[in-house]
Structure 1
Amino acid sequence: MEKYLITSKEFYTDIPTTFRDILYEQFKKHKPTYALYRDKSNPNYDNQALYFVEVCKQFETIKSFIHRDAKLAKSLDATGVHLTSTQFDEIQTAKELGLEVIISTHTHEEVLKAELLGADAVTYSPIFASPDKGKPKGIDDLNNLLKKCKIKVFALGGIVTQEHVNKIQKSRAYGFASIRYFY
């Protein structure tokens, strides 16, 4: 099962040297296969994204994704872009740039739309209880979704313990994505 590490300012900070050191150590510890730079409030987002991609490239097995900005992802030579659930209309543009595309989804309909529009993968959330993310969907809903689609699905939301990971692993999900699990 694939692991998708998502950064957060709260844990990774926005201080470049500290950010790089923490990220490198977390990559060594958790061995994710996908990683996303996500920081909605960093005024130096582009610079930090560059550092993020540089650290990812030190690990041959990690695919690097930039949040929301396909042009930035392309300019930094990231593997791809992770679009928000309001960016379905940007999937094709990102694909034309040669990027892998992951998009955030919260309903079965959004997952099927992402698949139809050519996204490579989706995050589907929240699976478990997660702060300010609404009612959890649960494993049964995830399994029902996986019967309907062929797109790669990363379970997301409230995945903080090995028990959560084990439950996701029993589904047919492609992998799981988390911020807090990778602290």
Structure 2
Amino acid sequence: MIESYCITPPFLSTRNLEDFKTTLFKSFSTHRPSRACLRAPCAPPDLLACFVELCKTFAITSYLNLPLLSSSIDQALQYGFFGVHAKGHALAELPSIPPTLSSFYSAHSAQEVQQALDLGAHFCTLSPIFPTPHKSPPLGLDYLDQLTPLQKNRLFALGGIVRIEQVKLIASKGLRGFASVRYFL
């Protein structure tokens, strides 16, 4: 089976700590993702520590995605995250990620995937693959056929993935994995 990458919705970080922990515990227990990313407009210290601890409990590789990549890097290093997830606007900042942190980049085209990998990103998400509320039109499954085997080995499809049938379609394209928000919640 391909790898799975759970990305939290931004609103989750606005809940109280107990609700945050309960929601993630249920998600991680049910779906057992290989990786998880805390995506938040801001994240208080207790939330960051809780996320890292839950990921360790379930042997999940933890990533952090804050509005600014520099903040993600600082907080990831301080709280023990495995890596950071850079937003699309942070492409030029990828070389600033320390080698001690793993990195994801949010790409929206095959060209951006290659640029991010060339700049040192370890992995990319490519989105949207399927229709997603409030996002641009989907790239579609056939779009993935233009990617090289090397790119596919470092790529997680994202966008509109809410059912196991879609995960199987992604797997048939030879990608490393899939990422989703709604699939895991």
Q: TM-score, normalised by structure 1?
A: 0.90
Per-residue displacement from partner, 1:44-73 (whole Å, max 9, x unpaired)? 44432221111111122x100000411111
Aligned residues: 179
The answer on whether the counterparts of 1:14 and 1:48 sit within 8 Å (CA) in structure 2 is: no
Map Cα deviations across residues 57-110 of structure 1 (whole Å, 9 max, x no partner): 1122x10000041111111110000000111222222134x1000010001111
Kept in 2, the 8 Å contact 1:66–1:82? The answer is yes
Instruction: Tell me the residue number matched to 2:69.
Output: none
1:27 alignment partner in structure 2: 28
Which of 85, 90, 93 is the aligned partner of 2:93? 90
Matched, 1:173 2:175: yes
8 Å CA contact 2:63, 2:81 repeated in 1: yes
Rate the CA distance shift 1:67–1:9 in 2: closer, same or farther, 3 A: closer
- Give the aligned residue type for 1:144: Q
The 8 Å contact of residues 152 and 175 in structure 2, kept in 1 or not, is answered as no
1:144: Cα distance to partner? 1.4
Pick aligned residue for 1:154 from 153, 156, 175: 156
Partner of 1:66: 64
Distance 2:120 2:11 in 1: 33
C-alpha distance in structure 1 between counterparts of 2:152 and 2:84, whole Å: 20
Q: What is the aligned-residue identity percentage? A: 36
Aligned partner of 1:80 in structure 2 is 83
For the 8 Å contact 1:73–1:81, the answer to whether it is kept is yes
Q: How large is the RMSD of aligned CA atoms in angstroms?
A: 1.8
CA distance in 2, matches of 1:78, 1:12: 16
Matches for 1:1-150 after TM superposition, within 5 Å: 1-10=2-11, 14-40=15-41, 42=42, 44-60=43-59, 62-68=60-66, 69-96=72-99, 98-147=100-149, 149=151
Q: Assess if the C-alpha contact under 8 Å between 1:115 and 1:151 holds in 2.
A: no
Structure 2 SS opposite 1:37: strand
1:142 CA displacement: 1.4
Are the equivalent residues in 2 in contact too, given 1:73–1:79 (CA < 8 A)? yes
Distance 1:38 1:22, change over 3 A: same
The separation in 2 between residues aligned to 1:12 and 1:26, in whole angstroms, is 15
| Aligned partners of 1:65 and 1:81 also within 8 Å | yes
TM-score, normalised to structure 2, is 0.89
Distance of aligned partners of 1:37 and 1:82 in 2 relative to their CA distance in 1, 3 Å threshold: same
